[in-house]
Structure 1
Amino acid sequence: MSSIGKRLLATTADIAASIEARSAQGEAGKPPLPRTAPGQMLAARSEMLAMQGELQALRDKLKSFDGSLPTVKLDPALVDTTRWANRHATAFTTAAFARLKSSIELAGGNTQPILVRCCETAGRYEIVFGHRRHRACLELGLPVLAVVWDGEMPDLDLFLSMDRENREREDPSAYEQGITYLAALDAGLFPSQRRLAEAIGVSHTWVRKATQVAQLPAAIVETFETPLDIQPRHAEEITQSLDQDRKAVLRRAERVRQMTRRPSPGQIVAHLTGRVAEKTAPEKFHAGGRLAGVWKRDSRGRAVITLEAHAADDAFMDELSDIVMKMLNRPRG
């Protein structure tokens, strides 16, 4: 039984004792009992029934708290995210998060409490689940409604509780889940992907696919607007290309990152895997109405500039060299 349950039980015990005392000796300040024996018996019975009803009401309330924990309002600044957190930073910029934040603002706080456990540092807490609700309250400057776990909660229990709660509410992306699965495996919470899958109640295939997304090189992940866009099928195709020619894929990734307009996730995969033909046709540029030169990328992704003789005298080349050096050495955003 929870601590609040024990306190309520103690309260009902005190009332029970009070009933017995009051039935034996009466209560100060009450109107005197009737003088006749039948009247006295009727009055005493009425008071006993009223007090017994009060006792039963409290005992019914006690049952509703049995096995549960009380909620408290905490300063969200005192609540830390767990190292098992499976929400990427971009998950807090989505339309779904904006809707959640708006509903919490309208309600004056989160109506569904988060679950936290106590940290070793006194007065601080660690989130078990409810990272999105906590983040919304933090950004809104509102206290966060929370249930504080009474007692010890091992990391394994925390991980399982967080995973179950998140999947029941709104599935994290494959990337987010993959990051969490890898963290749990690295920490030794599970001896294998298969055991992890069995513990959380998902297929081993899903765990393998999610971790494959999370294991993509950072240079690849950065080509997407957000890692949340990367689907398992994307990761599988990219991984196959990396196995065949890693350097070529990373060169393509660099060119994608330098694009002024971000392609769609499907187009990015096409670029990375070489399904989009590299631009090899030279682009011409003119000066004074005459052809001055051409530039193109070779098979290794290098930019090759060819200048016509009339446009490339020594003085021009010295000036061009200085300009190119300055551009290469300037900070890039």
Structure 2
Amino acid sequence: MSRRSLISEALASTPAEPVIAVEDVAVAKPRTTFTTKRLDAFGESARMVKKPSIRLKPSECSIWSGNARDYELLNEQRLRSLIDSIQAENGNRIPVVVRRTPDAEKRYELLIGTRRHWAVSWLNANHYPDIELVAIIEDIDDEAAFRLADIENREREDISDLERGENYRAAVAAYYDGIQARMAERVKLSTSTLARYIGLTEIPKSVVSAFHSPMDLQVRHGDKLLPLIRNAATRPQIEEAAAHIASEQSFRQSGDEEPISGAEVVARLVKAASSPRRGRARKLVIEANGSTIGQIDRDQGRGLTFTLTPTDLSADDILEALRPLIENAKILKGRAR
């Protein structure tokens, strides 16, 4: 289905309003790029619904909770090029979409254009208080707003597959009675594609943390990881490997080193799941003279790791407490042979 048809269908539930004709203005177009294609597409949608734009302050808008993008994850670095563009144009060329909220604290609710809203807000707070947000007002319900926002998000390269998956999962429950096939028909996606996006939300946060950024976790990675995560026999190995990778990512970041790529993270997790476990790690308490002085992380395949807490005991007392534990480890190693 064409973009024009998708937008028309998304707005089909909009109550009838007086149509205000606006004159199209011919603009010299630069060479075709991803950005200019988006400009053309949004210009087309604006002409179709024939709504004049308004100017408002970002502070006049609340953010609709049904949008896929996590507003809290936006920052100056991530939006630097957009900020520069809006500053140069003295406003956003592509209008955001809002709806009126007469009974709420703020007059409008932002449905589409979270990044533009954030960028103008940042400029207002950083020496450009006169720049306003260009917006189009639509009177549509949540389900239509979700579909309209999804049309825009499909063209976005900076929204993660995980964000889309979480948005789709919430939408299935909120608007389509929990039936994925019903939603797939409404948003013109195959049921398998929709299921793959929603499947990403099953990946535990402990595994997501192994990726340098949620942007690195893609649908194709979910195809490899989900069967292993859903399997009770391999999930512990995946989570253990993820914890080690997350620590390494943090160490690399602190040293300004290149992060581990998403593809490499997946390869290491899959390899960990296919490797036989040498023995489950167990934590043993170390006691001396009736007091706990530390613990041992015991792994029959990797050896012993001692963690000692500050104590008034002498070195001889501590070594005496460790001696039987070390001897026991030697015995176990001999039996393994």
In the TM superposition, what is the alpha-carbon distance from 1:107 to its structure 2 partner?
0.8
Q: Which of 239, 256, 265 is the equivalent residue of 1:250? A: 239
1:114 aligns with 2:114: no
**TM-score, normalisation: structure 1:** 0.62
For 1:253-332, what aligned pairs fall within 5 Å after superposition? Answer: 253-259=242-248, 260-261=251-252, 262-275=259-272, 298=299, 304-305=305-306, 313-314=316-317
Larger radius of gyration: 1
Correspondence 1:145-224 to 2 at 5 A = 145-149=134-138, 151=139, 153-168=140-155, 170=157, 172-224=159-211
Residue 139 of structure 1: aligned partner: 122
Q: CA deviation at 1:173?
A: 2.7
Return the alpha-carbon distance in structure 2 between the equivalents of residues 114 and 4 of structure 1.
19
Gaps of 5+ in 1: 7-63, 281-294, 307-311, 319-333
In the TM superposition, residue 298 of structure 1 has moved relative to its aligned partner by 3.0
Deviation readout 1:100-132 (Å, 9 max, x if unpaired): 221111111101111101223154321221111
The letter of the residue matching 2:269 is L
Residue pair 1:5, 1:66 contacting (<8 A) in 2 also: no
Distance in 2 between residues matched to 1:206 and 1:227, nearest whole Å:
19
Q: Which residue of the partner structure matches residue 321 of structure 1?
A: none
**1:130 equivalent in structure 2:** 113
Report the Cα offset of residue 140 of structure 1: 1.1
For residue 249 of structure 1, what is the amino acid of its counterpart? I
TM-score norm. by structure 2 comes to 0.61
Residues 1:187 and 1:298: Cα distance change in structure 2 (over 3 Å): same
Q: Report the alpha carbon displacement of residue 135 of structure 1 after superposing the two structures with TM.
A: 1.4
Match of 2:83 among 101, 108, 119: 101
After superposition, the Cα gap between the structure-2 partners of 1:303 and 1:99, relative to the gap in structure 1 and judged at 3 Å, is farther
Amino acid at match of 2:299: D
Higher relative contact order (CA 8 A, sep 6+): 2
**1:88/1:127 Cα in 2 relative to 1: closer, same or farther (>3 Å)?**
same
1:255 is displaced (CA, Å) by 1.8
d(CA) in 1 for partners of 2:121, 2:168 = 27
How many corresponding residue pairs?
A: 243
Question: 1:52-110, CA deviations, whole angstroms, 9 ceiling, x for partnerless residues?
Answer: xxxxxxxxxxxx99952222111102212211221245863597732222111111110
Between the aligned partners of 1:204 and 1:302, the Cα distance in structure 2 is: 48
Q: Does structure 1 conserve the Cα–Cα contact (< 8 Å) formed by 2:238 and 2:272?
A: no
Query: How high is the sequence identity, in percent, across the aligned residues?
Result: 27
Residue 301 (structure 1) shift: 7.9
CA distance in 1, matches of 2:123, 2:303: 49
Is the contact between residue 165 and residue 199 of structure 2 (CA under 8 Å) also seen in structure 1?
yes
Alignment-derived partner of residue 216 in structure 2: 229
Whole-angstrom distance in 1 between the partners of 2:122 and 2:266: 35
1:184 offset after TM fit, Å?
0.4
Q: Which runs of 5+ in 2 are unaligned?
A: 1-15, 22-45, 125-130, 253-258, 279-295, 308-314, 322-337
> Which amino acid is 1:138 matched to?
S
Question: Are the equivalent residues in 2 in contact too, given 1:230–1:265 (CA < 8 A)?
Answer: yes
Quick one: which amino acid aligns to residue 313 of structure 1? D
Checking the alignment, whether the CA contact within 8 Å between 1:2 and 1:66 is kept in structure 2 is no
Query: Which secondary structure state, in structure 1, belongs to the residue aligned with residue 122 of structure 2?
Result: helix
- Go from structure 1 to structure 2 and tell me whether the alpha carbon gap of 1:148 and 1:248 turns closer, same or farther (over 3 Å shift): same
Question: What one-letter code is carried by the residue in structure 2 that aligns with 1:265?
Answer: G
Instruction: Tell me if 1:74 matches 2:56.
Output: yes
Going from structure 1 to structure 2, the CA distance change for 1:253 and 1:90 (only over 3 Å counts) comes to farther
* CA–CA distance in structure 1, aligned partners of residues 220 and 184 of structure 2: 19
TM-aligned CA deviation for residue 317 of structure 1: 7.3
- Give me the whole-angstrom Cα distance separating, in 2, the residues matched to 1:302 and 1:126: 58
